[in-house]
Structures are given as structure tokens and as C-alpha cells.
Amino acid sequence: MIRYVTAGESHGQALIAWISGVPAGVPIDFEFVQRELHRRQLGHGRGGRQKIEKDRVEFLAGVRNGQTIGAPIALRIENRDWANWEKTLSVENPPDSESAQRRLTAPRPGHADLAGAMKFNFHDARYILERASARETAARVAAGSIAKLLLGQFECGVLSHVIAVGKARLPRAATWSEIQSVCENLDSPLRCVDAATEALMKSEVDVVHRAGNTVGGIFEVVAHNVFTGLGTHAQWDEKLDARLAQAVMSIQAVKGVEIGAGISAATSYGSEVMDEIGYDAAAKRFTRASNRAGGLEGGITNGEDVIVRGYLKPISTLRTPLGTVDMVTKQPISAAYERSDVCVVPAGGVVGEAMVSLVLAQAMSEKFGGDSLGEMRRNFDGYARQIREF
Ligand SMILES: Cc1cc2nc3c(=O)[nH]c(=O)nc-3n(C[C@H](O)[C@H](O)[C@H](O)COP(=O)(O)O)c2cc1C
């Protein structure tokens, strides 16, 4: 079973990702892993912090001579800003004057600040926000890159693109090759496959940026070449659509998840929603006239691309501050402002790729097992034969 957890605070010394259950013998492309981290930092509308950080992953355990050894993999991403926060967030010393200065008693609406401070009984939201921050997603992307490398061994690729920023929306579906090329282009400002729509998206970001406001949007994660039969209809908590929804919903600021055309399906007729089944006798395979189900029926992958969309609310921290109440004095006050992003939809998509890859890799290891990549491949090949001969 592939399992993973992360640790680390936004301005703490480092982020850690721990991932276990990855079979031995998976080659690790270190450049690919670093590139994934870099992709999470890109996008028009990110704040100044991305320029300071330039994330790099260190492999601490579980990899030897460039491949996994079947032991837990431990990854570390150093926070380059730690020197400026070491006193405030001291591990050993009691709070000093610097921590008092950076104490946050004006909880920001839309953040975990107030509910977390009340729950954990701190009158300083910094104890909460440091962990609630989406900086944590760097560790998820690191873990997800290992899942992607495993899936890649079975020719399965997972990428994302941006389909909406504010009111600007891509008016058509994107092909896999369009998504591939926009993901390769690290200079693409919002990772949208259509230049005209991207220009509209860019101006949405510029307008809100000038106004001290923020904007949300929708990213679409596509898993290509996923074989039929991951997940199951048999038990509610093993349904793959449900597991994907939880994984993507867990990303900070994601407030809705859609599988395929799920949301518009709710207001359409049945004949407009289902994907009719055909059979290609020459290729000896079942085909679909469309993929509105997003590659999942009854919680099982059906061989079409898996399509998962994340709906991101606008960033909660506004330069023009929102009203709140001081946790200590109980007096009305403006919400605290710290250097913040204006739009994170492209970055959210990269995190979405990581989460979808981790769920697919988990489902794959459940189905095919194997302590080594060779053993997993033998099991996979046997199943692939069954599908071909079905
Ligand atoms: C990649 C990424 C970067 C983010 N950056 C910020 C940010 O700079 N400022 C902010 O207020 N929220 C940011 N968020 C969103 C908050 O982390 C999130 O809204 C907050 O933790 C509350 O969680 P919730 O919105 O899921 O309820 C970011 C989210 C993502 C995915």
C-alpha cells in the first residue's frame, strides 16, 4: 500500500514528505522531480515569496543508486527564508520580542486562523497559519512526483491545464497533446491551451491585482492512458471517483471537485450526458463516442482519460483588508496582511496533478501489488492479457 504524509510549517526550517509502499526498482529522474517543484512555483499572479524560494528536493532515504529500494522514501525541501524566521519560530526558546512582533491576533476571514486558534487554544494565529498555509503543497508535489514516475513506468501520464480564471473561461475541450505542450512551456503565464483565452485570464489577474483584490478559477487534471479497472464499485470508500474527490478537495482553497462533466451533467438530460459504447473489431477494444464521465463509471476507471477539475475560490488574503475582530481585545480590526498570491490556479493544477497521481499510484499498487517493479509489471502484464482477451 502506498501511503504518504507531510510535515513542516510555511516559514519553518524545512518541509518533509514521507512516502512508503513504492516498489523497489523504480528509476528516479532527479531532474524531473526538481522540475515538478519548480512548476508549482510558476504562474501569473503568484506573490514575491516564489522568487525567494526556488525549491529543491533532497532525498534523505529510500533511494539508492538512482532507484527506489522498497524502503520508505523521505524527502526534504529546505525553506530558504528560514534565516529570517528562525527567532520568531524558534523550536527551543520561549517567544521573544521578535515573535511578539509577528504575533497575529487579527484572524483573516477564509483562513484556518480563528477556528484553529480556538481549537488549539492559542491567542496567536501564527501557530495555525504556518501549517495551514499552502506552502505545504510543495511537499505533496515532491511525493506526487514519485507517484508520477511509477505511473510513467506503465505509460500513464498526469498533467493539468487551466480552464478558467475569474470570468475568463476556455470555451472548448483541450487535447492531450495541447496539454502536453502547454505543460512543457514553463513561460506560459497561466497554462491555458488557448492564447486568446489566456490573454483574457491574464487581464483578470492584472485587474484584481491593481484593485488589491484576488481571483479564483478552475484547473483540470487529465490522466492519460489509464487502464480499465482501477478502483471498485464494491465498497463506498474504495470508489476511485470518491478517493480522487477527497484528494483534490484537500488542496488549500479548492471548494469544489468535478469528475468529467459532472457539474453540467446535473442540469442536462440523460441522452446528453452518457458516453455510448462501441467496439473496434480490428483493434479488439471497446470504444466510447465521448468522455463526459471523465474516465470513471461506478468508481472504476473505464480506459478513457481520467478528468478531475478543481474549483478554487479566490485567495482569502486581500491587500485591501477585510474586517475581523482581534482575538485578544475583541475589538473590530482590519485582517492581517502578509505577502500573498493574487491567483494560484496554475499552481493549484500542479498540486492537483500530484494528488491525482498519488491516488492512481495507490490504486495501482492495490491492484497489482509487488515488492519490486518487475513483480508489479508481471502482475500488470497478466491483467493486460485478460483485458485484451476479454
Ligand atoms: C498553491 C497555493 C497557494 C496559495 N497561496 C495563498 C496565499 O498566498 N495567500 C492566501 O491567503 N491563500 C493562499 N492559498 C489558499 C489558502 O492556503 C487557503 O485558502 C487557506 O489555507 C484556507 O483553506 P481553505 O480555503 O481550503 O478553507 C493558496 C492555495 C494554493 C493551492
Q: 41-92, pLDDT tens digit by residue? A: 999 999 866 666 689 999 999 999 999 999 999 999 999 999 999 999 999 9
**pLDDT band, residue 122 (cuts 50/70/90):** very high
C-alpha grid cell, residue 159 = 498533467
Distances (CA, A) of 66 to 72, 75, 138, 226, 388: 15, 14, 22, 26, 34
Cell 509489471 belongs to 377
Q: Hey, what long-range contacts does 151-155 have (CB within 8 A, 24 or more apart)?
A: 151/223, 151/357, 151/360, 151/361, 151/364, 153/26, 153/373, 153/377, 154/227, 154/364, 154/377, 154/380, 155/225
pLDDT at 321: 83
Please say whether the beta carbons of 239 and 299 come within 8 A: yes
Among the atoms of ligand 1, which is closest to the Cα of residue 341?
A: 8
pLDDT at 6: 98
pLDDT at 48: 66
pLDDT at 51: 63
Q: Which residues does a 6 A CB cutoff place in the pocket of ligand 1? A: 47, 110-112, 132-134, 137, 251-253, 315-317, 340-341, 344, 347-348, 351
Please say whether the beta carbons of 202 and 195 come within 8 A: no
194 CA distance to ligand 1 middle (Å) = 26
Residue 110 belongs to what H/E stretch?
Answer: none
Q: What's the distance, Cα to Cα, between the start and end of the chain in Å?
A: 28
Among the atoms of ligand 1, which is closest to the Cα of residue 339?
A: 8
333 CA distance to ligand 1 middle (Å) = 22
pLDDT at 102: 84
Over residues 185-190, the mean pLDDT reads 96
252 CA distance to ligand 1 middle (Å) = 5
- pLDDT at 220 exceeding the cut of 80: yes
Among 315, 320, 357, residue whose Cα is nearest residue 340: 315
Q: What is the pLDDT of residues 123-140, one digit of tens each?
A: 999 999 999 999 999 999
Pocket test residue of 315, 317, 322 for ligand 1, highest count of atoms within 8 A of CB:
315
Interatomic CA distance for residues 230 and 330, integer angstroms: 52
- Domain 3-260+295-389 class in CATH: alpha beta
Interatomic CA distance for residues 351 and 264, integer angstroms: 24
Kindly report whether the global pTM for this prediction surpasses the value 0.75: yes
340 CA distance to ligand 1 middle (Å) = 9
Over residues 107-117, the mean pLDDT reads 97
Q: What is the pLDDT of residues 4-17, one digit of tens each?
A: 999 999 999 999 99
Of 225-229, 279-283, 321-325, 334-338, where does mean pLDDT reach its minimum?
A: 334-338
C-alpha grid cell, residue 384 = 493486460
11 CA distance to ligand 1 middle (Å) = 15
134 CA distance to ligand 1 middle (Å) = 5
DSSP code per residue over 242-290: HHHHHHHHTSTTEEEEEETTHHHHTTS-HHHH---EEEETTTTEEEES-
- Report residue 260: phi and psi, to 5°: 55, -135
Pocket test residue of 252, 337, 351 for ligand 1, highest count of atoms within 8 A of CB:
252
- pLDDT at 21 exceeding the cut of 80: yes
- pLDDT at 181 exceeding the cut of 70: yes
Pocket test residue of 51, 129, 133, 249 for ligand 1, highest count of atoms within 8 A of CB:
133
- Report residue 68: phi and psi, to 5°: -65, 150
| Domain coordinates in residue numbering, the chain | 3-260+295-389
* Amino acid of residue 111: H
102 by Cβ neighbours in 10 Å (0-12 / 13-18 / 19+) ranks as middle
Among 298, 367, 386, residue whose Cα is nearest residue 156: 367
Using CA positions, which residue lies closest to atom 13 of ligand 1? 315
pLDDT at 339: 81
Percentage of the chain with pLDDT > 90?
Answer: 92
17 CA distance to ligand 1 middle (Å) = 19
C-alpha grid cell, residue 154 = 506503465
pLDDT at 338: 78
Of 15-19, 74-78, 217-221, 317-321, where does mean pLDDT reach its minimum?
A: 317-321
Among the atoms of ligand 1, which is closest to the Cα of residue 108?
A: 11
**pLDDT band, residue 248 (cuts 50/70/90):** very high
**pLDDT band, residue 99 (cuts 50/70/90):** confident
146 CA distance to ligand 1 middle (Å) = 24
92 CA distance to ligand 1 middle (Å) = 28
Q: How many other C-beta atoms are found inside a 10 Å radius of the C-beta of residue 15?
A: 24
Q: What is the CA angle 356-360-362, rounded to 5?
A: 115
Interatomic CA distance for residues 76 and 93, integer angstroms: 24
pLDDT at 52: 60
Among the atoms of ligand 1, which is closest to the Cα of residue 129?
A: 21
Using CA positions, which residue lies closest to atom 19 of ligand 1? 253
Q: What is the pLDDT of residues 254-270, one digit of tens each?
A: 999 999 999 999 999 99
C-alpha grid cell, residue 299 = 468508481
- What's the whole-number average pLDDT of the chain? 96
